[in-house]
Amino acid sequence: LGRSSTSAEVAKAAGVSKWTVIRAFTPGARIADGTRVRVLEAARALDYRPNLLARSLATRTTHSVAVLVDDFANPYKLPTLERLAATLQRHGRLATLININRDYDHFEAIAAARQRQFDAIVLFGTEIRDALITELTGMTRDFPLFVLARESTLAHVPYVTCDSKAAMNELCRHFVVRGYRRPGFLAGPRVMSTALGRQRAFKAFWARHGVPVVFETAVPRYDHSAAAEAVSTYLATTPPELRCDLLMCENDILAIGALEALRRAGVGIPENMAVAGFDGIDLASLAAFDLTTYRQPYEEMVDVLVEMLLGHKPPESVRLKGELVVRGSA
Amino acid sequence: LGRSSTSAEVAKAAGVSKWTVIRAFTPGARIADGTRVRVLEAARALDYRPNLLARSLATRTTHSVAVLVDDFANPYKLPTLERLAATLQRHGRLATLININRDYDHFEAIAAARQRQFDAIVLFGTEIRDALITELTGMTRDFPLFVLARESTLAHVPYVTCDSKAAMNELCRHFVVRGYRRPGFLAGPRVMSTALGRQRAFKAFWARHGVPVVFETAVPRYDHSAAAEAVSTYLATTPPELRCDLLMCENDILAIGALEALRRAGVGIPENMAVAGFDGIDLASLAAFDLTTYRQPYEEMVDVLVEMLLGHKPPESVRLKGELVVRGSA
DNA sequence: TTGTACGCGTTATCAT
DNA sequence: ATGATAACGCGTACAA
Instruction: Print pLDDT tens along chain B (330 aa).
Output: 666 889 989 998 889 988 999 889 888 788 888 889 999 999 999 999 999 999 999 999 999 999 999 999 999 999 999 999 999 999 999 999 999 999 999 999 999 999 999 999 999 999 999 999 998 887 777 789 999 999 999 999 999 999 999 999 999 999 999 999 999 999 999 999 988 999 999 999 999 999 999 999 999 999 999 999 999 999 999 999 999 999 999 999 999 999 999 999 999 999 999 999 999 999 999 999 999 999 999 999 999 999 999 999 999 999 999 999 999 999
**Is 70 exceeded by the pLDDT of residue A3?**
no
Q: What pLDDT is stored for residue A2 in this prediction? A: 62
Q: What pLDDT is stored for residue B256 in this prediction? A: 98
User: Does residue B204 contact residue B185 with C-beta atoms inside 8 Å?
Assistant: no
Q: How far is CA A37 from CA A17, A20, A172, B115, in A?
A: 15, 11, 65, 22
Per residue in A238-292, pLDDT tens?
Answer: 999 999 999 999 999 999 999 999 999 999 999 999 999 999 999 999 999 999 9
Q: What pLDDT is stored for residue A35 in this prediction? A: 87
Extended beta strands in chain A, E state: 64-69, 94-99, 120-124, 145-148, 159-162, 183-187, 215-218, 246-249, 274-276, 293-295, 318-320, 323-325
- Tell me whether B143 touches chain A (CB under 8 Å): yes
**Which residues in 156-175 of chain A line strand C, with CB less than 7 A from it?**
none
- Tell me whether B45 touches chain A (CB under 8 Å): no
Which chain A residues are within 8 Å of B138, Cβ to Cβ?
2, 47
Q: How far is CA B267 from the centre of its chain?
A: 34
Tell me the residue type at A124: F
CB contact under 8 A, A54 and B57: yes
pLDDT: which is higher, A12 or B179: B179
β-strand partners of A100: none
**Alpha-carbon distance B137 to A91, whole Å?**
25
- Tell me whether A45 touches chain B (CB under 8 Å): no
Residue in A75, A85, A116 closest to B98 by CB: A85
**How many beta-carbon pairs under 8 angstroms link A with B?**
169
Q: What pLDDT is stored for residue A22 in this prediction? A: 87
Q: What pLDDT is stored for residue A1 in this prediction? A: 66
Q: Is A210 left (phi over 0), alpha (psi -120 to 50) or beta?
A: left
Per residue in A188-209, pLDDT tens?
Answer: 999 999 889 999 999 999 999 9
CA of A108: which chain B residue's CA is closest? B89
Which chain A residues are within 8 Å of B277, Cβ to Cβ?
none
Per residue in A68-95, pLDDT tens?
Answer: 999 999 999 999 999 999 999 999 999 9
pTM, full prediction: 0.96
